[in-house]
Amino acid sequence: MFDKKKNTIRIFIYENVMLYPPTINLIECLLNNGYKVHLVAEGVRDLPAIIKENRQFSYTEIKAVKNSNIFLRLKKRGVKTKGYRAALKDTMDGDIVWTVNPSVVRTLGKELLEYSDRHVMQLMELTDTYPMFRGAKILKFNIKHYAQEAWKIVVPEENRAYIQKVGWNLEKLPYVLPNKPYYLKSGEVQEDMLPVIEEMKREKRKKIIYLGVISADRDLQSFAEAVERVKKDYCLYLFGKFRGDGAEEFKKLCDGYSSLKYMGFFNPPKHLEFLKYADIALVPYKPGEIEGSGFTILNALYCAPNKIYEYAGCNIPMIGTDVLGLREPFEKYNIGVCCRDLKPETIIDAIRYVDANHDEMVKNSKAFFDSVDLDYIVNSIVND
């Protein structure tokens, strides 16, 4: 049994922690249940005060690598790797090592295997093979071996648990920890948020909103085209940080539709404030392979977005693409509609259906949000 008084849960994440709301949820849940948490990541200074001011919380800040010169970038990346591995060596007997993405498992390397009997390996995405370095098409990191050696595997969706178990020949079924926010408080309204809030308040049309990563597996083009055809009554607000290739295409998307407004990226949980002014929310997942990502072709099909819990918790009905990860909760709880195809007419029908059934879907959203008990699940992972 894990000893809360003596031991610490040490969470390792590669990249900026603010890009991973589920990790923030996990930290908040652990702290609220009396666990000591030490975070090793970039971007720690931007975490909500409720985390940073908690006496049970400590951290190791890893500096980001930002340089266009490839040689300096490689040198800094080596320093970054040393920082992660040094933090791993600080792990005390009885501490739990909790990794939250394959990149950090790859960075920690073979030294992580020394902690296999207390390594919780969390997979935010449905993972197959993983590249040895970003963009590598041939050289692969043996992520499957680390999963087989780990104490426990955690995934965000039930279908993913079974797929991951079979795909990696795991002895036990992974735990399912949905990407539900632990708190739904956006905090104090900051100065940079005020222009956006005023803009949304002035807008008389019904507002369709998207919060999240803007990348190749989000089909925003089809939804923008559909909303443009009904722009007399609706408009589309996009919030998020662009990731991957295609920045020029995204700029053309924003410039090409008068009903679309890109409002930038706001660190969570500030982004929740904007949901107060929205009527309908989007979850536009596009199934298919993303080259070099390490995710399986089924990743978007069995998506497990934190957005559906954020939207539901803020009483916003949803429209999504026809993927099983969305269809199952939408149909079970009647909180949204999946478009059977992405023709403008189909999306417009979905918008009007959700609009007509808005009040009922709002009531159902609470039941869906309350269906997940994060405290129970996290305590089970730590103590089972």
Which of the four pLDDT bands, split at 50, 70 and 90, describes residue 246? Answer: low
pLDDT above 90 for 249: no
Of 41-45, 66-70, 125-129, 177-181, the range with the lowest mean pLDDT is 66-70
Place of tokens 């002895």: 171
Nearest Cα to 353, choosing from 374, 338, 375? 338
> Mean pLDDT, to the nearest integer, of 43-53?
92
Average pLDDT of every residue of the chain: 91
> Mean pLDDT, to the nearest integer, of 107-112?
96
Of 3-7, 67-71, 236-240, the range with the lowest mean pLDDT is 67-71
Q: What is the per-residue pLDDT for 336?
A: 97
Nearest Cα to 11, choosing from 125, 87, 78, 81? 87
The order of strands in the sheet holding 206-211 is 260-262, 234-239, 206-211, 280-283, 318-321, 336-339
Predicted model pTM: 0.89
pLDDT in tens, 268-277: 888 999 999 9
Which of the four pLDDT bands, split at 50, 70 and 90, describes residue 254? Answer: confident
Cβ neighbours of residue 310 under 8 Å, at least 6 residues apart?
21, 181, 184, 211, 272, 275
Query: Which is it for strands 140-141 and 152-155: parallel, antiparallel or unpaired?
Result: unpaired
Q: Are 249 and 236 in contact (CB under 8 A)?
A: no
- Whole-angstrom CA distances from 375 to 34, 207, 379, 382 are 11, 34, 6, 11
Residues above pLDDT 90, as percent of the chain: 73
Q: What is the per-residue pLDDT for 188?
A: 82
- Whole-angstrom CA distances from 120 to 11, 98, 105, 111, 348 are 9, 5, 11, 15, 43
Query: Which is it for strands 152-155 and 175-176: parallel, antiparallel or unpaired?
Result: parallel
Exposed/middle/buried for residue 22 (C-beta within 10 Å: 0-12, 13-18, 19+) = buried
